A and B are shown apart, each in its own frame.
Chain A
Amino acid sequence: QKEVEQDPGPLSVPEGAIVSLNCTYSNSAFQYFMWYRQYSRKGPELLMYTYSSGNKEDGRFTAQVDKSSKYISLFIRDSQPSDSATYLCAMRAGPNDMRFGAGTRLTVKP
């Protein structure tokens, strides 16, 4: 079993749609959960961060963590063509042990 599982897609939605991206994980020691966004020919950039379980909202983006199910989600409301990118979930237990999912490639069509 992979430590972090993420469906690589690709996922294509019309502009304005609600997007749901998900990851599951196996290591119960993970405490810090992140979503990175990677545009084409760029490095990943931190988008959202959550510590332990719960929800966090930032504009059109909502990150959810369910530690009991070992499941994290990122929701994008009113998706825009500029949201087209690869979204990578990431998580860690200690300071240097960040683990990533495979990334989901999202295209938002005008």
Chain B
Amino acid sequence: ETGVTQTPRHLVMGMTNKKSLKCEQHLGHNAMYWYKQSAKKPLELMFVYNFKEQTENNSVPSRFSPECPNSSHLFLHLHTLQPEDSALYLCASSQPTGGFDTGELFFGEGSRLTVL
């Protein structure tokens, strides 16, 4: 396995369900991210983890709960979602140095979520 892998690729859930999205990176990076991608809207940064510590939470509703047990794994736990939460959820990783570098994000293929 190489790069960033996300499972499941597709998920359909009712508003009362509890589900989780999983992300795993094999790049040795120290930072991991969750982004939400909706049609014709900018990618929305949801959460950032650096060395397993959450460093950013962009006012995301509490029905989204992230978990980062180690630098290689990231989860997004979903509970009582709304239909407007239907979107593509992208996981990414990077190796930020704070110096003169791209800070390139390496993305997974995303988990397509549909909330009925």
Residues of A within 8 A of B (CB): 2, 4, 6, 8, 32, 34, 36, 41-46, 49, 51, 88, 90, 92, 94-103
* A43→B42 contact, CB < 8 A: no
Bound state CA distance, A97 and B43, in angstroms? 12
Given contacts A41-B109, A43-B90, contact A88 B43 (CB under 8 A): yes
Nearest CB of chain A from residue B51's CB, rounded to whole Å = 12
Q: Point out the residue from B4, B43, B50, B90 that lies within 8 Å of A96, measured CB to CB.
A: B50
* A98→B41 contact, CB < 8 A: no
Residues of B within 8 A of A (CB): 4, 31, 40-43, 45, 48, 50, 55-56, 90, 92, 96-98, 100, 102-105, 107-110
Q: Point out the residue from B4, B40, B50 that lies within 8 Å of A8, measured CB to CB.
A: B40
* A99→B103 contact, CB < 8 A: no
Bound state CA distance, A96 and B105, in angstroms? 10
Q: Point out the residue from B41, B96, B105 that lies within 8 Å of A46, measured CB to CB.
A: B105
Nearest CB of chain B from residue A6's CB, rounded to whole Å = 8
* B50→A43 contact, CB < 8 A: no
Q: Which residues of B sit under 8 angstroms from A88, Cβ to Cβ?
A: 43
* A2→B105 contact, CB < 8 A: no
Bound state CA distance, A2 and B43, in angstroms? 12
Bound state CA distance, A63 and B75, in angstroms? 35
Bound state CA distance, A88 and B90, in angstroms? 14
- B48 (CB) vs chain A CBs: closest residue: A96
Nearest CB of chain B from residue A26's CB, rounded to whole Å = 13
Q: Which 10 A-B pairs have the closest CB atoms?
A: A43-B107, A95-B96, A100-B43, A8-B40, A100-B42, A49-B102, A46-B104, A95-B98, A102-B42, A43-B109
Q: Point out the residue from B55, B90, B100, B108 that lies within 8 Å of A51, measured CB to CB.
A: B100
Q: Which residues of A sit under 8 angstroms from B90, Cβ to Cβ?
A: 43-44
User: Can you list 27 contacts pairing A with B, beta carbon distance less than 8 Å?
Assistant: A4-B42, A6-B42, A8-B40, A34-B102, A36-B105, A43-B4, A43-B92, A44-B90, A44-B105, A44-B107, A45-B107, A46-B102, A49-B104, A51-B100, A88-B43, A94-B98, A95-B97, A95-B103, A96-B31, A96-B55, A96-B56, A96-B103, A97-B45, A98-B105, A99-B42, A100-B42, A101-B42
